[in-house]
């Protein structure tokens, strides 16, 4: 929770109230996404034909990618798409490689060899120490196939698909918890695009069957951007009691989370860095739609009220980095600030979020790029790394006073519903170790902001700074223009802290 007062005359100030805790942050908001798209899987996480053999594990996984991702403790990876799901038949991707069929891939215009499939993904998740999240094919797929996939992954009985998993060398079930009921089924690019009512009906029927097979799974409904009539209609239809006595509590909805997606981007720095504030509005409105469905459907307020699964978010301009060409964005410092604002938004709205997945994790719209010989950490990697490492526990109250940006925004309505101060702030307190962590983005391109910081109790503060020569610098030209610099700041002298123009600063201290 960050409150804000415009202050044109006085100096900026940030007041932090570490003892005023708001919401528990679900670590799953730092999740990732690996789609069969461009070089995300092949040449990204899986690269068995790379001539530099030292770069790959015996399974063909990129070691440098694993080593970069592991320290971030990314909790969950979504797979295999995205739009890719709409023609994916998971049975093509199991068993001996030589018997796996190559298929035309219609979402991105590629050929899918199926050399990387369910068992490889499970093994990669194991290697990166994350949980899998699988998205079901609502395009050309059938309910039978979906049931078979759940049985293959989670089955413990003496049944066909569970036995096939065993025969493929995986005796223990994978216990895949998270399953999505399709992806972006509202989009006109989608194979088997549906109306909201057709989708909702199908999702409800599939959900019943899937939960009968495995009541332990978490089912994720396909929403749109949050504040849309699609979101309202599918929530209204699907958030109702299961009506299946075998599932136990009949008042519990079948749906456990509601997925929304949003990408922001602009060539204009200020539009670029204020755009992610739209996501805050998406979450707020969508959360109200969940409440409305509960009220209209007569569901009692329960612990099982679905949260939002923001399972695709990032800075992406499709005209600049088209999906059909692999969507390889070259991120600037401005984009790093935008990603930090995105992450501030997710933290501030933690109350409503059960999961969020940066889209995507390697090469495609990603902070991490591979070449044949190594990896490049793009500018956006650094805010993502800092948040994954430090912004955990509970959100805490912050009050910000500073001047505000008053120019155009993209989307335009950001201004109508959100304030756009020059600084964007979120703060957390780590429940175990007592660390307070504050992330401050100074969006201003020219002005360093000398700011009074209240609430540090005179602590010695560890400072992480991310900035660069100008907002356009990138890390892709063979030199690292943007990275993390660390320093200490003694707040006991009551001095002001200077947030450099166009920067991300993380302040961290222990209050125990």
Pattern 158-177, binding to ligand AHR, x per CB under 6 A?
A: --------------------
Closest residue by Cα to residue 207 from 152, 150, 164: 150
Tell me the C-alpha distance between 510 and 81, whole Å. 40
Q: Which lies closer to ligand AHR via its Cβ, residue 365 or residue 388?
A: 365
**Binding of ligand AHR by 184 (CB under 6 A):** yes
The residue among 139 and 455 lying less far from ligand AHR, judged by its C-beta, is 139
Please list the residues that pair with 453 across neighbouring strands.
Answer: 14
* Closest listed residue to residue 365, CA positions, set 311, 309, 333, 322: 322
Outline where 357-463 has alpha helix (H).
381-390, 414-417
Coil vs helix vs strand at 406: coil
* Residue 497, strand partner residues: 451
Alpha-carbon gap, residue 20 to 505, rounded angstroms: 22
Residue nearest to ligand AHR (CB): 82
Closer CB to ligand AHR, residue 87 or residue 360? 360
312 is a contact residue toward ligand AHR (CB under 6 A):
yes
Cβ atoms < 10 Å from Cβ of 193: 15
3-state secondary structure of 229: helix
Size of the site for ligand AHR (CB under 6 A): 12
Which of 31, 34, 56, 83 binds ligand AHR (CB under 6 A)? It is 83
The mark string for 327-366 relative to ligand AHR (x by CB under 6 A, - otherwise) is --------------------------------xx----x-
The nearest distance, CB 121 to ligand AHR, in angstroms, is: 16
Interactions with ligand AHR, residue window 245-304 (CB under 6 A): none
Instruction: Let me know: does 1 contact 350? Beta carbons within 8 Å.
Output: no
Per the annotation, the verdict on 131 as an active-site residue is no
Instruction: Return the sign of the alpha-carbon dihedral for residues 347, 351, 354, 356.
Output: negative
Nearer to ligand AHR, 114 or 183 (CB): 183
Nearest approach, Cβ of 325 to ligand AHR (angstroms)?
12
CB 349 within 8 A of CB 283: yes
Cα-Cα end-to-end distance for the chain: 22
Query: d(Cα 230, Cα 412) in Å, to the nearest integer?
Result: 21
Q: Is there binding between residue 225 and ligand AHR (CB under 6 A)? A: no
State the minimum distance, in angstroms, from the CB of residue 184 to ligand AHR: 5
Stretch that binds ligand AHR, among 13-21, 79-87, 330-338, 366-374 (CB under 6 A): 79-87
Is 312 noted as a catalytic residue in this protein?
A: yes
Residue 46, classed as helix, strand or coil, is: strand
Among residues 312, 329, 385, 401, which one is catalytic? 312
For 3, residues 6+ apart whose C-beta sits below 8 A from its C-beta are 397, 398, 399, 400
Nearer to ligand AHR, 231 or 424 (CB): 231
Location of structure tokens 């599918």: 234
The dihedral over CA atoms of 357, 359, 362, 368, expressed in degrees to the nearest 10, equals: -90
**Taking the complex as a whole, how short is the minimal distance between the CB of residue 84 and ligand AHR, in angstroms?**
6
Give the x/- contact pattern for ligand AHR in 29-58, rule: CB under 6 A: ------x-x---------------------
* Residue ranges in 226-245 that form contacts with ligand AHR under rule CB under 6 A: none
Catalytic residue selected from 112, 120, 151, 184: 184
Q: Which is nearer to ligand AHR, 105 or 151 (CB)?
A: 105
Which one of 183, 266, 363, 491 is in contact with ligand AHR (CB under 6 A)?
183
Shortest separation between residue 99's beta carbon and ligand AHR, angstroms: 28
* Residues 348 and 426 sit within 8 Å (Cβ to Cβ): yes
| Nearer to ligand AHR (CB atom), residue 154 or residue 378 | 378
Given 18, 82, 280, 455, the residue binding ligand AHR (CB under 6 A): 82
CB 147 within 8 A of CB 210: yes
User: Minimal CA–CA distance to 428: which of 402, 453, 462, 393?
Assistant: 393
Piece of 76-84, 145-153, 215-223, 278-286 that binds ligand AHR (CB under 6 A): 76-84
DSSP 239-285: SSB---GGGS-TTSBS--EEEEEEEE--SSHHHHHHTTHHHHHHHHH
Cβ distance to ligand AHR smaller for residue 365 or 398: 365
3-state secondary structure of 318: coil
Letters for 110-139 (x = contact with ligand AHR by CB under 6 A, - = none) are: ------------------------------
233-255 residues labelled b (16+ CB within 10 A) or e (exposed)? bbbbbbbbbbeeeeeeeeebbbb
Stretch that binds ligand AHR, among 77-85, 121-129, 336-344, 499-507 (CB under 6 A): 77-85
Q: Smallest distance from the beta carbon of 159 to ligand AHR, in angstroms? A: 32
Q: CB under 6 A: which stretch of 80-88, 161-169, 279-287, 341-349 binds ligand AHR?
A: 80-88
> Which residues form the interface with ligand AHR (CB under 6 A)?
35, 37, 81-83, 183-184, 312, 323, 359-360, 365
The residues assigned a catalytic role are 184, 312
């Amino acid at each position: 929770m960050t409150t804000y007062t415009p202050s044109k005359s006085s100096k900026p100030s940030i007041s932090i109230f570490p003892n005023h805790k708001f919401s528990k942050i679900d670590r799953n908001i730092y999740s990732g996404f690996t789609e069969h798209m461009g070089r995300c899987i092949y040449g990204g996480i899986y690269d068995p034909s790379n001539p530099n053999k030292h770069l790959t594990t015996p399974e063909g996984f990129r070691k440098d990618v694993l080593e970069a991702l592991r320290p971030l403790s990314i909790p969950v990876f979504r797979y295999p798409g995205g739009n890719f799901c709409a023609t994916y038949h998971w049975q093509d991707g199991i068993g001996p490689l030589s018997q796996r069929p190559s298929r035309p891939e219609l979402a991105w215009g590629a050929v899918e060899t199926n050399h990387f499939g369910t068992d490889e993904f499970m093994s990669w998740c194991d290697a990166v120490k994350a949980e899998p999240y699988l998205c079901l094919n609502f395009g050309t797929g059938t309910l039978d196939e979906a049931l078979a996939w759940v049985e293959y992954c989670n089955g413990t009985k003496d049944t066909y698909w569970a036995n096939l998993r065993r025969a493929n060398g995986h005796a223990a079930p994978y216990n895949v918890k998270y399953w999505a009921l399709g992806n972006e089924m509202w989009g006109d690019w989608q194979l088997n695009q549906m109306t909201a009512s057709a989708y909702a009906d199908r999702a409800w029927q599939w959900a019943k069957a899937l939960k009968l097979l495995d009541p332990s799974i978490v089912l994720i409904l396909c929403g749109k951007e949050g504040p849309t009539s699609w979101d309202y209609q599918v929530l209204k239809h699907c958030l109702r009691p299961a009506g299946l006595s075998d599932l136990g509590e009949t008042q519990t909805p079948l749906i456990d989370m509601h997925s929304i997606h949003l990408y922001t981007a602009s060539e204009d720095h200020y539009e670029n860095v204020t755009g992610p504030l739209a996501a805050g509005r998406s979450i707020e409105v969508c959360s109200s739609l969940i409440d409305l469905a509960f009220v209209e459907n007569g569901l009692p307020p329960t612990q099982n009220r679905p949260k939002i699964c923001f399972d695709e978010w990032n800075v992406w301009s499709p005209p600049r980095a088209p999906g059909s060409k692999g969507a390889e964005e070259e991120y600037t410092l401005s984009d790093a600030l935008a990603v930090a604002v995105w992450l501030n938004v997710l933290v501030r709205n933690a109350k409503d979020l059960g999961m969020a997945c940066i889209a995507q994790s390697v090469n495609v719209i990603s902070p991490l790029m591979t070449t044949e010989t190594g990896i490049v950490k793009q500018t956006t990697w650094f805010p993502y790394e800092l948040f994954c490492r430090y912004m955990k526990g509970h959100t805490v109250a912050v009050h910000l006073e500073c001047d505000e940006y008053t120019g155009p925004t993209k989307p335009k309505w950001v201004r109508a519903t959100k304030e756009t101060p020059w600084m964007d702030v979120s703060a957390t307190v780590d429940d175990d170790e007592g660390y307070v962590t504050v992330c401050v983005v100074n969006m201003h391109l020219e002005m360093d902001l000398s700011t009074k910081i209240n609430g540090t109790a005179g602590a010695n503060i560890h400072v992480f700074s991310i900035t660069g020569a100008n907002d356009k610098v990138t890390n892709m030209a063979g030199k690292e223009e943007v990275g993390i610099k660390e320093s200490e700041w003694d707040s006991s002298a009551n001095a002001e802290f200077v947030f450099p123009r166009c920067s991300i600063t993380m302040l961290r201290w222990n209050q125990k």
